[in-house]
């Protein structure tokens, strides 16, 4: 049986969208459809870029002459800065656009905005959007010849965040097989959680455990292939990794939760709960953290916390994904121009 025969129709479509015929990455939109070898390749490439960050001159010429546009339809400080730094360390020209405040408020459609940017000879769009599936839409229907990197779409996916988390886990645990990993908190609204679940499953983690109250879990949660635990004190048992998610305070307004205090008591990670996990359990958080809402300061700053490693790894992962997708795009453009009837 071939690899593709074992994939669902959805995974095959995602694979086809993101990879060239030769299996090279050309867009990085979702982890669906990417196999373990591809994810491992991304992690290995990122490892090689960590060394670049430690040099005095932190640049490599892989994206020299290429134009990367950071298209943020939803505000972000950290993700955008790390993408910008990553692109600059790869020697790309970088254009930052906060679309919230420009074109779309003048009534221009998303498609028109993107086609205009493509006309400016952009090679790569790093896209963040509040709608799930926006990068799919762009890659499929608007600008298929521009490499699309998903920097977070709605509740759907945040694949670079998940991969930097995987890099952090691999640095501390050296492997994924046999690991028990819990994701705690607002799973329902979290694109980070969806990508982490997929990454952990593809890389071979033994168990992915979701710990949350019923109001913060998606319908049909069992279809995600995880175990579900409502009681965090039980859910901490045997954990190698615990990932805390950020809780948006507006969750109280929609009657999803009664109060921050009750949430913290039941699902906040404090020293007592952490003591229920394996002694070498690491604590992760995609940030920005709410101290005293989902995590105790002593834990966030404690010896088991790897939260700051995550930030450093973010730049390396983004360099890896951007350089890989760019080289796939360039290879594909070359194939197309060689084909009769292809682009000129």
Partner 1 sequence: MTSSLRIDNARLSGESGAVNLLVRDGLIRSMGRDVIRDPADLEIDASGLTLLPGFVDLCCNLREPGNGQKGNIASETRAAARGGFTTVCASPDTSPVNDSGAVTNLIRDVARTKSAVRVLPVGAATRGLAGELLSDMVGLASAGCVAFSNGNNAMANARILRRCMAYARTFDITLMLQPVNQALAADGYAHDGRVAARLGLLGVPEVAETAAVMEMLLLAEETGVRIHLGQLSCARSVGMVADARARGVAVTADVAMHQLLFTEEALSGFDSRYHVVPPLRRESDRKALLQGVEDGVIDAIVSQHQPHDTAAKQAPLGITEPGLSTVESVFSMGLSLVERGELTMNALLRALTEGPAAVIGWSAGIEQGAPASFSLWDLESQWQAHPDTMLSRGLHAPVSGQDLKGVAHWTVCEGQVAYRPG
**Residues in contact with partner 1 by the rule CB under 8 A:** 9-10, 13-14, 32, 109-111, 129, 131-134, 136-137, 140-141, 153-157, 191, 194, 218-221, 223-224
Q: Is 287 annotated as a binding residue?
A: yes
Q: Is 79 annotated as a binding residue?
A: yes
Segment (H or E) for 244: strand 241-244
Q: Is 189 annotated as a binding residue?
A: no
Are 70 and 83 in contact by the 8 Å Cβ rule? The answer is yes
Q: Which residue has the tokens 């394996």?
A: 278
Q: How far is the CB of 157 from partner 1 (least distance, A)?
A: 7
- Cis status, amide bond into 288, omega within 30 of 0: yes
Give residues with Cβ within 8 angstroms of 330, minimum separation 6.
none
Q: Is 128 annotated as a binding residue?
A: yes
Q: Is 185 annotated as a binding residue?
A: no
Choose between 89 and 129: whose C-beta lies nearer to partner 1.
Answer: 129
User: Which residues are registered as beta bridge partners of 129?
Assistant: 153
Buried b (16+ CB within 10 A) or exposed e, 20-46: beeebbbbbbbbbbbbeebbeebbebb
Q: How far is the CB of 190 from partner 1 (least distance, A)?
A: 8
Q: How far is the CB of 31 from partner 1 (least distance, A)?
A: 11
Q: Which residue has the tokens 């699902």?
A: 267
Choose between 104 and 304: whose C-beta lies nearer to partner 1.
Answer: 104
Q: Is 288 annotated as a binding residue?
A: yes
Length of the chain as a residue count: 344
Choose between 15 and 285: whose C-beta lies nearer to partner 1.
Answer: 15
Choose between 156 and 246: whose C-beta lies nearer to partner 1.
Answer: 156
Q: Is 161 annotated as a binding residue?
A: yes
Q: How far is the CB of 66 from partner 1 (least distance, A)?
A: 26
Choose between 156 and 285: whose C-beta lies nearer to partner 1.
Answer: 156
Choose between 194 and 285: whose C-beta lies nearer to partner 1.
Answer: 194
Structure tokens at 243: 């990932």
Give residues with Cβ within 8 angstroms of 214, minimum separation 6.
230
Q: How far is the CB of 63 from partner 1 (least distance, A)?
A: 27
Residues 311 and 307: their CA atoms lie apart, in Å, by: 7
Closest CA to 152 of 109, 189, 192: 192
Virtual torsion, Cα 238, 283, 191, 319, nearest 10 deg: -120
Q: Is 170 annotated as a binding residue?
A: no
Q: How far is the CB of 167 from partner 1 (least distance, A)?
A: 23
Are 243 and 196 in contact by the 8 Å Cβ rule? The answer is yes
Residue ranges for the known binding site are: 78-79, 106, 128, 158, 161, 191, 246, 287-288
Residue ranges for the known binding site for L-aspartate are: 106, 191, 246
């Amino acid at each position: 049986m071939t690899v593709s025969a074992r994939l669902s129709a959805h995974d095959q479509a995602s694979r086809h969208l993101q990879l060239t015929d030769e299996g090279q990455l050309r867009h990085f939109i979702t982890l669906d459809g990417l196999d373990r070898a591809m994810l491992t390749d991304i992690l290995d490439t990122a490892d090689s870029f960590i060394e670049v960050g430690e040099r005095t001159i932190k640049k490599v010429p892989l994206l020299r002459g290429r134009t990367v546009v950071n298209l943020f339809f939803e505000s972000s400080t950290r993700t955008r800065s790390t993408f910008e730094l990553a692109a600059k360390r790869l020697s790309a020209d970088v254009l930052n656009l906060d679309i919230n405040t420009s074109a779309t408020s003048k009534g221009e459609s998303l498609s028109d905005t993107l086609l205009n940017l493509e006309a400016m000879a952009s090679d790569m769009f790093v896209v963040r959007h509040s709608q799930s599936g926006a990068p799919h839409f762009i890659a499929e229907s608007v600008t298929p010849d521009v490499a699309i990197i998903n920097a977070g779409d709605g509740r759907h996916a945040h694949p670079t965040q998940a991969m930097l988390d995987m890099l952090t886990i691999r640095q501390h645990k050296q492997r994924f097989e046999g690991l028990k990993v819990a994701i705690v908190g607002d799973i329902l609204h979290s694109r980070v959680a969806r990508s982490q679940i997929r990454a952990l499953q593809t890389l071979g983690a033994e168990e992915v455990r979701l710990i949350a109250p019923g109001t913060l879990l998606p319908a049909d949660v069992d279809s995600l292939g995880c175990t579900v635990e409502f009681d965090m004190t039980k859910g901490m048992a045997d954990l190698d990794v615990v990932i805390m998610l950020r809780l948006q305070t507006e969750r109280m307004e929609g009657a999803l939760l009664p109060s921050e205090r009750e949430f913290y008591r039941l699902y906040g990670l404090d020293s007592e709960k952490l003591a229920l996990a394996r002694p070498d359990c690491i604590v992760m958080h995609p940030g920005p953290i709410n101290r005293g809402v989902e995590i105790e300061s002593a834990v966030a700053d404690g010896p088991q916390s790897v939260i700051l490693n995550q930030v450093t790894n973010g730049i390396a992962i983004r360099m890896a994904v951007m350089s890989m997708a760019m080289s796939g795009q360039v290879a594909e453009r070359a194939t197309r121009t060689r084909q009769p009837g292809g682009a000129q």
